[in-house]
Structure 1
Amino acid sequence: MVLDIWKRIKKGDFAPVYLLYGKEAFLINETKQLLLDRLLKEDEKDFNYTAYDLEETPIEVALEDAETFPFLGDKKVIFLHNPQFLTSEKIKEKIDHNLSRFETYLKEPAPYTVLVISAPYEKLDERKKITKELKRTAEVVEAKKLNEHELKSWVKERARGYGIDIEPSALELLLTLAGTNMFMLSSEMDKLALYAQDEKMIHADLVEKLVSRTLEQNIFTLIEKVVSRKLDEALRIYFDLLKQNEEPIKILALLSGQFRLIYQVKELSRRGYGQQQIAGFLKTHPFRVKLAAGQADKFTDEELTNLMNLLAEADYQMKTGGMNKSLLIEMLLFRLNK
């Protein structure tokens, strides 16, 4: 697990070779930055840190660098970006790489160099010899979306890094308001930590006051108001979105997407699927499934079917009719609230 690897890096326990792969860019970037900051002092980075784009440079050039002693320091750090030879994706490679030379290096890596291979691909080609060798010899960081438990652990660890703590209710509210995008969560945590320095604790009311709502979260809250039959509050959120220059067609698309998710979660739950299975099946984050499941309980099957029909009708009218688009959604909210 990536969080365990971060703990080892922070303790000074480094591997000679790291393989970072996956689509969660934040985890890859954070791991690279952590390694760079822990291994090299600021004045050493100009001499002992190099990055190579393997779409432009043969890997043997990077390996020669890796085997050269560091200058004015004990360690050097080398990043290798875009190792297309590790993926089965159909990409036309511009460079011929001497992979047997790479395999030889992996068997006996330079003790003074930390080599970091950054592969922004969802999957690696497990059939290739070089992939097998890397997975056998390197410290592997799979950068995939964190589940809810891992996400909460990461937020708490980030808070501890600032010398503060976060209440369970505040943590739950943070994820609900900011979503699961780690770049956004990181930014919000940085802001919350500044305001919580005196008390050394992030409370729920501070999260409520400071955390920016994503458009998706505003739509989620709007639906909550519809569910609770609070039309005036639902309309207030909608009018606020219009003031922020959000397009009605985009709002309708997000409304439809959230109700579709609620419908799918309800149906799959009835078939006996767990939330983790549903998340995998629908290719969405488990936390989104958890929130949708809470909303799904508030609708009957008949109500959800009717809602989906209303949304489809509104979409058709918006794309083909001459009615004012913002007025169309306003009327839709009245109909959803019945």
Structure 2
Amino acid sequence: MHYLEAKKQIKNIAKQPVIVIFGDEQFLIESFIQSVVDDRLSEAEKEDQLITYDMEEQPVSDAVLEVETFPFFGGNKVVVCEASYFLTGKKVKTSVEHDLDRLVQYIEQPVDFSTLIVVVPYEKLDERKKVVKALKKQGEFIECKTMVERDLGQWFQYFKQQYQIDFSKRIEDRLIQEVGTSLQLLEKEIEKLSLFQVSGAISDDDAKALISHSAKASSFTLVDAVISRDLSLAINTYKDLVRLNEEEIGLLALLSSQIRTIYQVKTLLGKGYSQKQIAQQIRVHPYVVKMSETRAKRFNLEQLYQALDLCAETDHAIKQGKMEKRLAFEMLLYQLIA
């Protein structure tokens, strides 16, 4: 079951004696564990009856013994087994030996006062293993995988419902441009917008003022200013980045990276690659490819190559002390636009 579907059924899932949470999105893993804990334990119980074991340092038999031990003050208990790589085919260096038959015995006859959460920070389980087969019969499996572009709309809808807020597709695009596709950062920004909301939907102007700006996102704005031949916007964006304590060398690297990505995308598009193939080839998120494809239409390959050459020359001039860094960066922007 995927995270979003599981969150809707948290009341029922939290009552299951064994829950397996697997995937490579740590934010979702931690969030779901917290949801289960909040449902099963009172604030007073959380201090003594939430116990965590590291399976790379402690045997699973210790965790099973803890699960089976009735809470001293009564009530419920939640036991979390972190780094449970023994459910996967991944080779992990550890001196700990796990008695998986002991775990299977518990899975087949669990107690009703404890919830065992088995955390596997890996994208795939080894379903050939006896313990995995036993868990498949008795346990609840929650998948917490890294988000892909096609899931963005579903996640925005989820966050909008969670924080009772509404905003436009343009604001969604701005959020992605500024903070990327990190679910943790997106949620923080949407929560911030919800606190500002008084009535109705958040306007584009309000979102522009409230959403946190990142150097990476602003480097896209620099590229857009160059494409639009808007020197004033380029200079003002550069000054905004300086106010964020960004150094010229770092900004130059970001700007070069964006131009290089546009160059790579345009080259591969010319060879007939799809957006998905390009994302895999140059190892960037599909949304970055989509944005770069739009920008690439405004340049030919020779212009992009010349822009990269100018960036390299400016980098050399700054590092060799041939030109003051602020002047050098502003001159670069002028040259790129001119």
Q: Same-fold call, TM > 0.5?
A: yes
What's the counterpart of residue 201 of structure 1?
Answer: 201
Query: What residue identity is the alignment partner of 2:248?
Result: P
CA gap of 1:89–1:250, structure 2 versus 1, over 3 A, is farther
Query: What residue identity is the alignment partner of 2:217?
Result: Q
CA gap of 1:141–1:250, structure 2 versus 1, over 3 A, is farther
What is the Cα deviation at residue 64 of structure 1? 1.1
What is the Cα deviation at residue 49 of structure 1? 1.8
Task: Give, in whole Å, the separation in 1 of the partners of 2:41 and 2:304.
Answer: 57
Equivalent pair of 2:55/2:83 in contact (CA under 8 Å): yes
What's the counterpart of residue 268 of structure 1?
Answer: 268
Query: What residue identity is the alignment partner of 1:261?
Result: T
Task: Give, in whole Å, the separation in 2 of the partners of 1:145 and 1:238.
Answer: 32
Q: Secondary structure at the match of 2:9?
A: helix
What's the counterpart of residue 314 of structure 1?
Answer: 314
Q: Secondary structure at the match of 1:116?
A: strand
Equivalent pair of 1:49/1:77 in contact (CA under 8 Å): yes
What's the counterpart of residue 192 of structure 2?
Answer: 191
Task: Give, in whole Å, the separation in 1 of the partners of 2:133 and 2:310.
Answer: 52
Pairs aligned (count): 337
What's the counterpart of residue 257 of structure 1?
Answer: 257
CA gap of 1:5–1:130, structure 2 versus 1, over 3 A, is same
What is the Cα deviation at residue 299 of structure 1? 1.4
What is the Cα deviation at residue 138 of structure 1? 4.0
Listed as ranges, the gaps of 5+ residues in structure 1 are none
1:182-239 Cα distance to aligned partner (Å, 9 max, x none): 222122112111111x214333222112111111111111111111000111011112
What's the counterpart of residue 67 of structure 1?
Answer: 68
Task: Give, in whole Å, the separation in 2 of the partners of 1:265 and 1:181.
Answer: 23
What is the Cα deviation at residue 131 of structure 1? 5.2
1:221-275 Cα distance to aligned partner (Å, 9 max, x none): 1111111000111011112222332111111111111112212222233333332
Superposition map of 1:72-83 within 5 A: 75-83=76-84
Normalised TM-score (structure 2): 0.87
Larger mean CA deviation between 66-75 and 248-257 belongs to 66-75
Q: Secondary structure at the match of 2:117?
A: strand
What is the Cα deviation at residue 10 of structure 1? 5.1
Listed as ranges, the gaps of 5+ residues in structure 2 are none
What is the Cα deviation at residue 284 of structure 1? 2.3
Task: Give, in whole Å, the separation in 2 of the partners of 1:137 and 1:317.
Answer: 65
Task: Give, in whole Å, the separation in 2 of the partners of 1:246 and 1:132.
Answer: 52
1:231 aligns with 2:231: yes
What is the Cα deviation at residue 93 of structure 1? 0.7
1:140 aligns with 2:141: yes
1:35 aligns with 2:36: yes
CA gap of 1:322–1:201, structure 2 versus 1, over 3 A, is same
What is the Cα deviation at residue 59 of structure 1? 0.9
Larger mean CA deviation between 239-248 and 117-126 belongs to 117-126
Q: Identical aligned pairs, as a percentage?
A: 39
Q: Secondary structure at the match of 1:202?
A: coil
What's the counterpart of residue 6 of structure 2?
Answer: 5
Task: Give, in whole Å, the separation in 2 of the partners of 1:136 and 1:302.
Answer: 60
Q: Secondary structure at the match of 1:6?
A: helix
CA gap of 1:298–1:137, structure 2 versus 1, over 3 A, is farther
What is the Cα deviation at residue 60 of structure 1? 0.4
What is the Cα deviation at residue 9 of structure 1? 1.3
Equivalent pair of 1:48/1:71 in contact (CA under 8 Å): no
What's the counterpart of residue 247 of structure 1?
Answer: 247
Normalised TM-score (structure 1): 0.87
What's the counterpart of residue 305 of structure 2?
Answer: 305
